[in-house]
Structure 1
Amino acid sequence: MAIVSIHELGKATIADEEGFFQFENLRPGSYHLHITHVGFRAENKNISILDADRFVELSLKESAIQLESLTIEANPFKNGPLEQSQTIMVLDRDFLERNNGGTFANALEKLPGISTINTGVGISKPVIRGMSFNRIMINDRGIKQEGQQWGADHGLEIDPFDVDRVEVVKGPSSLLYGSDGMAGVINIAPPAFKQDNEIEGSFTSMYRSNNDMFSNSIAVEGNQGDLVFGGRFTMQDFADYRVPADQFNYAGFILPIFENRLKNTAGRERHFSTMAGAKKDWGYSTLTISRFDQEAGIFAGAVGVPNSFNLRHDGNFRNIDIPRQSNQHLKVLWNNSILINDYWLELDMGYQKNERREFSRPHAQEVAPDNPFGNLALSLVLDVWTANARISKTHGEKGQSIFGFNSQYSINRQSGFEFLLPNFESLQGGLFYFREHKFTQDFVVNAGLRLDGAYHDIEEHLQPIYERMRPTGEMDQRNPDIQREFFNGSGSAGFSWVFLEKFNLKFNVGSAYRIPTPIELSSNGVHHGNFRHEVGNATLERERSYQTDLNLAYSSKKFLVTFSPFFGYYDGYIYLAPAPRFSPLPGSSIIWEYRQNNAIFTGGELMTNISPLKNLTFNLGAEYVYNQNLDTGLPLPLTPPFSVLSGVEYKLPNIRNVFDNLYVFAEVRQAADQNRVDRNERTTEGYTLLEAGLGGDVLFGKQEVKFQLSGQNLTNAVYFNHLSRYRLLNLPEQGRNISFSIKVPLTIR
């Protein structure tokens, strides 16, 4: 059955067996239709409705490649095989559920060009083409996710079960989203509203053997007349995770790992979200409230110098001891889409409160006898107010134009007996204009301009100095008062050209501008999550990039291949690098400092899907990133290695009307050695990982139950992730893991 949706209204309907569909009570205006059908290429069409009924005839082309049916709409502009020149990957809920590794970022690793920085098993963040942190923007329902994204041990505060559709834009994306989209953007889009008088629910449960993780999530969503609503509650509990080693080497010392488990890496999570709103013929308005709540232990050897004493087993693999971290993220989002004559106004407003707390036992040099903070080493509370608006107009079949602005006001407050970041306030905003023009059915050009400005007001911080828990009367200025203003522009242009019917060439060129963050300007303290002393630089200037991105695709009924090379020159690239000196602060190692040098990034991705038989699919994805600091002649730190992910999937026939949509799959991940490292950075050996599994639907009468059984690192290989912060401690990644998940869809009405 074909699914037909109207992007601007969030409406969707299903065509009947003859292919007929209809939408009732549409106001006169311009709309964008999107049509998907399994086994066919997705299609998009602009239509204009006047006072009379409009008859639309559409034809879908057959395709055996599953990926062809996964193009979706994204905020704030539409996408399709033609309409956007950037390299875009789109994921639906089925893909995310099949690849749920306990965090949202881990599900993205299956895409070429995407890797993750991991902190054990429960915390990860995405890396796009070798760049992460403040160069990747995460948009949740049109609002930029703001947390502590500057830290490698600060994961994305997003419930992995509460994600329906994801669009990954690789390449320069600052034009429409803001300066933090220099490396790419990850858009999390809400699901289409349910049809009138429809209420559905689901229950999902998952178990992972490596860290004995139990996950349960229950959701409901519906449509009652003009009222739309939804809600979800998720629980995750996990124990210390297992590694294929019983000891590790740190600074020449051999230290134990009791029963192959890393002590104090357990955690628990409780997340909820709720949405309610009105859906009218003029558009919709919804209010979403969500809260992410996580308590996670920090490996005992990652705070201070690891020794045999603090690595001893405490008798419980599930308890969360000190050191630990506590993360809460509250979001209140108000989303609107309003039809005004021939224009669509999209207005998104949001408030976020991100609270991060790290607990550890203080050193005698850090506190007075009347320490008011107890074991609270660091507290960071970030309040963010966001307002975005876009006005779009469709120019018939000739494309569309968009004018919009983004604005954001942030306040950060810190406390605790340690210091890492000062108090600061930040105001940022930007204006942009985007135009897309379709010269022919097969050739589309787009271009745009953007202006950005920012003001950072950073407070001075004086840290008292103690000796043996007695004040010396002296103060250490960890950072001075800093006030900085920034203003600059950016622009991009691109085209999409379908030639010889089955070839599609997309090319994008742009100049992006990134504003230094308060963290890069003023941090100065031990970041235990990264096992290092990090120092900011108050003299950092703006970062300017000149980037090109190309995507060449060949698509036939049974074969799809895409090649995506990229190149970027960065004037004043800001990065964190190890310095040739040790920190004077307790519980630390060498100093890492923010630097600014000219640099280049280049590389590319290759992806193929082959379906030689009706139910058999082979796929391969390869990625490579090469960068170099043009001032030192050395590579930049924390660059992912060359890797290849190859797999095969076979769909099995149905069994006695009980087992349906059955499939088996196997995947091999091969990563090369990473010997291109910065000064004082360690090299990492390559590795090979094997994953396999099966899944499908089981019918219990009329009740459908989806299941999947899979195994990761089935050979229990000992390997190191070059981007993992535990790599600094010579700790291998998690060992063999067996996952089992079920999902029970429920039709309430």
Structure 2
Amino acid sequence: MMRNLAICLLILLSTLAKAQHISIKGTVMADTVPVSHVSVTISGTRLGTRTNASGYYEIRDVPAGNYRVTFSSVNYEQEKSAVTISSDKTVILNTNLKPFTSKLNEVVVTGVSRATTLRKNPVPIAVLSKTNLDQNISTNIIESIVKGVPGVNAVTTGPNISKPFIRGLGYNRVLTLYDGIRQEGQQWGDEHGIEIDPYGIGRVEVIKGPASLTYGSDALAGVINMIPFTQHDTVGFKGDFTSDYHTNNGMIGSSLGLYYKKSDWKYIFRATAKGAHDYRNNVDGYVYNSGFREVNLSAMARTDKKWGYTQIAATLYNNQQEIPDGSRDSLTRRFTKQVAEADNIKDRPIVPDNELRSYSIAPLTQSIKHYRVYSQSKFNVGEGSINAILGVQQNLRREYTHPTMVEQPALDIQLNTLNYEARYNLPIFSGFETTVGANGFYQTNRNKNATDLPIPDYNLFDIGTYLFVKKSFGKVDVSGGIRYDSRNIKWNDLYVGHDPQTGFGKQVQSNTPGANLQFPAFRHTYTGLSGSLGLTYNITDRLLLKANVARGYRAPNITEIGSNGLDPGAHIVYLGNRDFNPEFSLQQDVGFIAYLKNLDIVMEVFNNNINNYIYQAKLTDANGNPVVIVPGNSTYQYQQSKARLYGAEVTLNLHPEAIKWLSFNNSLAYVRGINKNEELIERSNGAAKYLPFIPPLHVRSELRGKLSGTYGIFSKIYAAVEADMYSAQDHFYALDNTETYTPGYTLINLSAGTAIKPKAAKTWFELFVQADNIFDKAYQSNLNRLKYFEYYTASPNGRSGIYNMGHNVSMKVVWHF
């Protein structure tokens, strides 16, 4: 009896063991890339799991039967597969996900406490992927963003110097972030760009407006967060090599990225180099001193554990950027170069042709170096989490403008910054997602071995605390919060005297004979309260209404309150005002979004009223004549008044279901900037009615064809033709010729690309070709600073200033291995 019972038990246990080992497993991919964090569930059961970093999943202990397995991810369309389990064998079920055609479910991380989807965020925000950036071929990352996001423009000083503007506001009103850490590189200036490697960026998130409470002062216009490319999650070694060439200025760029993952650790390294000679157009020919040479290095190590993650990273940026001054021969309009101090412009020699196409950097140049080391960590605490950021940056900027002493910098500034942040994401309670945090930075600026000192040595301490809350009420998502900022800035007396060895000025002690007090001591604390409240109404899954109201705050920057000297690279003497008050804005946004079967519609309308708006204008005397403090250089003085900016952005993308390979994409961006200083407007007979540096109406239309599927070794094939249209800008700050009328223009651009992957090959390629301004249109953007680089009141060809780049063909190859 006992023997028979034992045999029955063994048979039963054997059967149970076999049932317990029945499993479904496989790999989830998107094209050739594994997809992590995909939810895999079996309908009608409580069984499910998520894919790991390699896209692998396994569901164990599945009873026999017929099932439907569902694969879900916020960035991809849901996929369902039928499966039958009738034996003890493991079932292999692989799947390939398709990206969402609607961006409403795309996850964003900028400006919110936790990662959230676009549909739940009431703040106007745009996202550019790595694919978008690769297809928008440019000489710098800001120009790529301008091509992809309506409402974003750039003030430029040649091909490699671009400063972002959002809805007519720029400089340090736009907070530029690298991997969530604010970029501190003297962003208040015109004549240098953003110190970030364009090849190393995998994603860009753009917030329009002051509703980003988590970043604090200086985000009055919005935020541009550039997130490094770290998407290789496959265990083992991966890499990519990018090379591109531009025909107009001969720019050659190369970038090598290496990625290695083992267990819980990931390592990333990137090295980039690019260089160019002078660019050309059909009015100026080759524009002297517009070439550059740039080198970038970056590295990161990260570990992901059950308790959270931590990473440490470092970047190095080194740019040698030539400084154009626009001097020419008065008759031939050929460019000339300065060879002596305080020379007569009419006596300068003409630049030889071989120098215009040389990759060698001219003696009159600027050197910009930016070093950064930072760490980010997340610690899971129960149902909540703590995030911590700590970073150190150093920005070194030198300008060499002395032709007889090329090793002597005219400008030599060292800016050191310590960034910090800590925030606590509280456990979700009754649907409320709450975050409290504090962040800021400590900064020191020092003038080194310079002959010109436009700003003082200063110390700055900034701190802000914030509370952010979001919750969903059925179809309505609500979010908002409040923030308080405090910024203390101070400097001591700074004296300038004569250096008998160089014959120029230099910083001296107060008791030095002939010393002049250029920067009297100053100390002040600026404080501000900001906040936002917004909601999203989900009419349907693809039809949304959004509204947001936000109060922004910005403390005056160092040039606005402290400048008193020549910036040699800008050829401008800046004069600040230490009595300026902080800027406060009140902006309202209303948006309508529809992702329909054949059409995408995005419409955003905004109105922004700013108190204490600060801008720069040419300084004139009582007779209306320009004030000249340093011969050959203009003098600008900062002003402050009320202002209003209003406008709209509209996107209409037609993608007919009947012709799936074809799309017609259109965008419109409009902004008007009004100066509310009624007394000044009346005194100037209306010349001061508008704010300076406001972009005109911008319309972009693109007809694009894209083939799905694979054709031999080719896939992801596309081609496009684009019309990039700017209207004339006749609403400009005309007082004292600070700005002038800018005619409208239309540029026609072509682009094409494909992926190349032989069967069974482990490596593959992407090829992009782009032809900008194919008809070689001569034009000047109203945000091109070179437009005003002119020494003569009359020109033999009727043209003044320097024009933008002419016809340019760009070719880019990305090798994935």
Bin the TM-score by the shorter chain: 0.7 to 0.9
Aligned to 1:488: 528
Alignment correspondent of 2:115: 78
Match of 1:402 among 435, 453, 460: 435
Equivalent-residue separation in structure 2 for 1:447 and 1:17 (angstroms): 34
Separation in structure 2 between the aligned mates of residue 589 and residue 464 of structure 1, nearest angstrom: 20
Question: Structure 1, residues 506-559: CA drift from partner, whole Å, max 9, x if none?
Answer: 111111221112221111222233332211111111111111111111221321
What's the secondary structure of 2:119's corresponding residue?
A: coil
Distance 2:430 2:663 in 1: 35
Q: Is the 8 A contact 1:263 1:311 kept in 2?
A: no
**Shift, 1:495, TM fit:** 0.5
Return the match for 2:614 from 574, 582, 591: 574
Alignment partner, residue 630 of structure 1: 676
The equivalent of 2:65 in structure 1 is none
Matching of residue 596 in structure 1 with residue 640 in structure 2: yes
Match of 1:263 among 262, 266, 288: 288
Aligned to 2:146, what secondary structure does the other structure show? Answer: helix
Change (3 A) 1:41 1:291: farther
Aligned to 1:277: 302
Q: How does 1:290-301 map to 2 (within 5 A)?
A: 290-301=315-326
**What percent of counterpart residues are identical?**
27
Name 1:233's counterpart in structure 2.
Answer: 271
Q: Could you say what secondary structure the match of 1:94 adopts?
A: helix
Work out which of the residue numbers 162, 172, 186 in structure 1 matches 2:200.
162
Larger RCO (CA under 8 A, 6+ residues apart): 1
**Alignment match, 1:46:** none
1:250 corresponds to which residue? none
Amino acid at match of 2:673: N
Partner residue in 1 for 2:649? 605
1:70, 1:92 within 8 Å by CA — same for their partners in 2? no
Amino acid across the alignment from 2:351:
R
Q: 1:102 to 1:435 in 2, by over 3 A?
A: same
The CA deviation at 1:563 is 0.8
Aligned to 2:73: 35
Displacement of 1:168 in angstroms is: 0.3
**Residue 582 of structure 2 aligns to which amino acid in structure 1?**
R
Kindly report the root-mean-square deviation, in angstroms, between the aligned alpha carbons of the 2 structures: 2.9
Q: Does 1:243 align with 2:277?
A: no
Matched residue of 2:172: which SS?
A: helix
Q: 1:698 aligns with which of 732, 749, 756?
A: 756
Find the counterpart in structure 2 of residue 22 from structure 1: 50
Cα deviation 1:555-603 (Å, max 9, x = unaligned): 2132111111111111111112222253443354332111110111111
CA distance in 2, matches of 1:164, 1:62: 17
CA distance in structure 1 between the partners assigned to 2:346 and 2:210 by the alignment: 45
- Displacement of 1:387 after TM fit? 0.6
Retained in 1: the 8 A contact 2:213–2:466?
A: yes
Which protein shows a greater Rg?
Answer: 2
Query: Normalization by structure 1: what TM-score?
Result: 0.87
Alignment of 1:422-433 (within 5 A): 422-433=456-467
- Corresponding residue number in structure 2 for 1:505: 545
Other-structure match for 1:640: 695
Deviates more, 1:314-323 or 1:531-540: 314-323
Map of 1:414 onto structure 2:
447
Once residues 167 and 655 of structure 1 are traced to their aligned partners in structure 2, the CA distance between those partners, rounded to angstroms, is 31
CA 1:216–1:174: 2 relative to 1, 3 Å: same
Superposition pairs of residues 293-332 of structure 1, within 5 angstroms:
293-301=318-326, 307=346, 309-313=348-352, 315-316=354-355, 317=357, 318-332=359-373
> What is the rounded CA distance, in whole Å, between the counterparts of 1:310 and 1:460 in structure 2?
42
Partner of residue 180, structure 2? 142
Q: How far has the Cα of 1:68 moved from its partner?
A: 5.2
CA distance in 2, matches of 1:624, 1:3: 41
Distance, in Å, in 2 between the alignment partners of 1:461 and 1:473 is 14
Residue equivalent to 1:716: 776
Matched letter for residue 622 of structure 1: L
CA-CA distance at 1:158 after TM superposition: 0.3
3-state SS of the aligned residue for 2:566? strand
Distance 1:430 1:655 in 2: 52
Instruction: Write the letter of the residue equivalent to 1:22.
Output: R
1:63 and 1:557 in contact (8 A); partners too: no
SS in 2 for 1:738: strand
How far residue 310 of structure 1 moved from its aligned partner, in angstroms, is 4.9
Q: Which aligned pairs between 1:519-534 and structure 2 lie closer than 5 A?
A: 519-534=559-574
Would you say how many aligned residue pairs link Structure 1 and Structure 2?
Answer: 694
1-structure distance, mates of 2:455, 2:424? 38
Farther-moved stretch of structure 1 (584-593 vs 553-562): 584-593
Letter in 1 for 2:638: Y
Measured in 2, the distance between the counterparts of 1:278 and 1:500 equals 40
Q: How does 1:640-659 map to 2 (within 5 A)?
A: 640-652=695-707, 656-659=711-714
After alignment, is 389-398 or 508-517 more displaced?
Answer: 389-398
Q: Deviations over 1:593-643 (max 9, x none)?
A: 111101111111111111012111111111111111111341111111111
Distance across 1 between alignment mates of 2:504 and 2:612: 43
Distance in 2 of aligned mates of 1:355 and 1:178:
25
CA contact (8 A) 2:452 2:567 kept: no
1:420 shift after superposition: 0.8
Query: Judging changes above 3 Å, is the alpha-carbon distance between structure 1 residues 3 and 547 closer, same or farther for their aligned structure 2 residues?
Result: farther
Q: Which amino acid counterpart does residue 249 of structure 2 have in structure 1?
A: N
1:454 counterpart residue number? 487
The 1:349–1:127 alpha-carbon spacing in structure 2 relative to 1, beyond 3 Å, is: same
Residue 200 (str. 1) matches residue 200 (str. 2): no
* Residues 437-481 of structure 1: per-residue CA shift (max 9 Å, x gap): 1111x2011121111101101233322258994999534433211
User: Structure 2 length as normaliser, TM-score?
Assistant: 0.80
Instruction: Report how far residue 178 of structure 1 moved.
Output: 0.7
Q: Which amino acid aligns with 1:336?
A: S
Q: In 1, Cα distance between the equivalents of 2:281 and 2:157?
A: 13
- For 1:383, the equivalent position in structure 2 comes to 416
Structure (1 or 2) with the greater strand fraction: 1
* Distance (Å, rounded) in 1 between the aligned partners of 2:349 and 2:167: 37
Segment drifting more, 679-688 vs 736-745: 679-688
Distance in structure 1 (CA, Å) of the matches to 2:126 and 2:766 = 25
CA–CA distance in 1 between the matches of 2:608 and 2:268? 42
In 1, distance between residues paired with 2:499 and 2:772? 49
| Conservation of the 8 A alpha-carbon contact between 1:526 and 1:588 | no
Which residue identity is paired with 1:734?
Answer: M
Gaps of 5+ in 2: 1-26, 58-70, 80-96, 328-337, 506-511, 682-688, 790-800
CA distance in 1, matches of 2:619, 2:806: 33
Q: Which 5+ residue runs of structure 1 have no aligned equivalent?
A: 5-9, 27-32, 43-59, 247-259, 364-370
* Equivalent AA in structure 1 for residue 693 of structure 2: L
Q: Could you tell me whether the CA contact under 8 Å between 1:331 and 1:353 is conserved in 2?
A: yes
The CA deviation at 1:307 is 4.9
Give yes or no for the alignment of 1:586 onto 2:646: no
| 1:21/1:215 CA distance change after superposition, 3 Å | farther
Partners of 1:41 and 1:243 in 2: how far apart?
50
Secondary structure in 2 aligned to 1:356?
A: strand
Change in Cα spacing, 1:174 to 1:498, as seen in structure 2 (3 Å) is: closer
Of 188, 192, 217, 2:255 maps to 217
Cross-structure match for 1:688: 746
Q: Is the 8 A contact 1:141 1:335 kept in 2?
A: no
Counterpart of 2:117 in 1: which secondary structure? coil
C-alpha distance in structure 2 between counterparts of 1:228 and 1:622, whole Å: 41
